[in-house]
Protein backbone atom coordinates (compact mmCIF):
# COMPACT_ATOMS: atom_id res chain seq x y z
CA UNK A 1 0.00 0.00 0.00
CA UNK A 2 2.87 2.32 0.84
CA UNK A 3 4.50 1.62 -2.53
CA UNK A 4 1.25 2.32 -4.44
CA UNK A 5 0.92 5.64 -2.61
CA UNK A 6 4.46 6.71 -3.47
CA UNK A 7 4.07 5.75 -7.15
CA UNK A 8 0.73 7.60 -7.35
CA UNK A 9 2.26 10.65 -5.69
CA UNK A 10 5.18 10.59 -8.15
CA UNK A 11 2.82 10.42 -11.14
CA UNK A 12 0.70 13.25 -9.72
CA UNK A 13 3.74 15.50 -9.18
CA UNK A 14 5.02 14.76 -12.68
CA UNK A 15 1.64 15.67 -14.23
CA UNK A 16 1.49 18.87 -12.19
CA UNK A 17 4.94 19.87 -13.41
CA UNK A 18 4.02 19.12 -17.01
CA UNK A 19 0.84 21.20 -16.82
CA UNK A 20 2.49 24.00 -14.85
CA UNK A 21 5.35 24.44 -17.31
CA UNK A 22 3.27 24.21 -20.46
CA UNK A 23 4.16 26.72 -23.13
CA UNK A 24 2.08 27.84 -26.03
CA UNK A 25 3.33 26.20 -29.23
CA UNK A 26 3.25 28.29 -32.37
CA UNK A 27 3.34 25.69 -35.11
CA UNK A 28 4.79 26.40 -38.52
CA UNK A 29 5.57 24.60 -41.72
CA UNK A 30 9.24 24.39 -42.54
CA UNK A 31 10.12 26.14 -45.81
CA UNK A 32 11.91 22.98 -46.99
CA UNK A 33 8.73 20.87 -46.75
CA UNK A 34 7.82 21.65 -50.35
CA UNK A 35 11.13 20.24 -51.53
CA UNK A 36 10.54 17.06 -49.54
CA UNK A 37 7.17 16.65 -51.26
CA UNK A 38 8.79 17.29 -54.66
CA UNK A 39 11.53 14.74 -53.90
CA UNK A 40 8.88 12.19 -52.91
CA UNK A 41 7.02 12.67 -56.18
CA UNK A 42 10.25 12.43 -58.18
CA UNK A 43 11.30 9.23 -56.43
CA UNK A 44 7.89 7.64 -57.04
CA UNK A 45 8.14 8.55 -60.72
CA UNK A 46 11.67 7.12 -60.92
CA UNK A 47 10.56 3.89 -59.24
CA UNK A 48 7.64 3.56 -61.64
CA UNK A 49 9.94 4.07 -64.63
CA UNK A 50 12.37 1.50 -63.22
CA UNK A 51 9.62 -1.09 -62.81
CA UNK A 52 8.16 -0.65 -66.28
CA UNK A 53 11.50 -0.11 -68.05
CA UNK A 54 11.04 -3.16 -70.24
CA UNK A 55 7.76 -1.86 -71.59
CA UNK A 56 9.27 1.55 -72.25
CA UNK A 57 12.33 0.02 -73.93
CA UNK A 58 10.15 -2.32 -76.01
CA UNK A 59 8.08 0.64 -77.19
CA UNK A 60 11.11 2.43 -78.63
CA UNK A 61 13.04 -0.55 -80.00
CA UNK A 62 12.34 -3.00 -82.76
CA UNK A 63 11.96 -6.67 -81.94
CA UNK A 64 14.56 -8.88 -83.57
CA UNK A 65 13.49 -12.18 -85.06
CA UNK A 66 15.28 -15.27 -83.86
CA UNK A 67 16.77 -17.65 -86.40
CA UNK A 68 15.04 -20.98 -86.85
CA UNK A 69 18.33 -22.93 -86.93
CA UNK A 70 19.08 -26.10 -85.08
CA UNK A 71 19.87 -25.80 -81.38
CA UNK A 72 23.49 -26.30 -80.40
CA UNK A 73 24.06 -28.89 -77.71
CA UNK A 74 26.16 -28.00 -74.71
CA UNK A 75 29.51 -29.72 -74.22
CA UNK A 76 29.38 -32.32 -71.49
CA UNK A 77 32.29 -32.46 -69.07
CA UNK A 78 34.39 -35.56 -68.73
CA UNK A 79 34.31 -37.26 -65.30
CA UNK A 80 37.93 -36.34 -64.63
CA UNK A 81 37.31 -32.65 -65.47
CA UNK A 82 34.70 -32.22 -62.78
CA UNK A 83 36.25 -30.72 -59.69
In a domain, 14, yes or no: no
| Domains held by the chain: number | 1
In a domain, 74, yes or no: no
In sequence order, what E strands does the chain have?
none
pLDDT tens digits for range 14-30: 988 888 876 776 777 67
In a domain, 17, yes or no: no
In a domain, 83, yes or no: no
pLDDT tens digits for range 35-50: 888 899 999 999 888 8
In a domain, 47, yes or no: yes
What are the helix and strand counts (H, E) for the chain? 3, 0
Look up the domain containing 44 and give its range: 32-59
In a domain, 79, yes or no: no
Q: What is the spatial distance between Cα 26 and Cα 23, in angstroms, rounded to a whole number?
A: 9
In a domain, 66, yes or no: no
The predicted pLDDT at position 63 comes to 67
Its pTM stands at 0.34
Cβ pair 54, 61 in contact under 8 A: no
In a domain, 73, yes or no: no
Amino acid sequence: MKRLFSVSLGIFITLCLLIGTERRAWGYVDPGSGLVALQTLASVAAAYAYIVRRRIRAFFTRKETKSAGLPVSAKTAEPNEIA
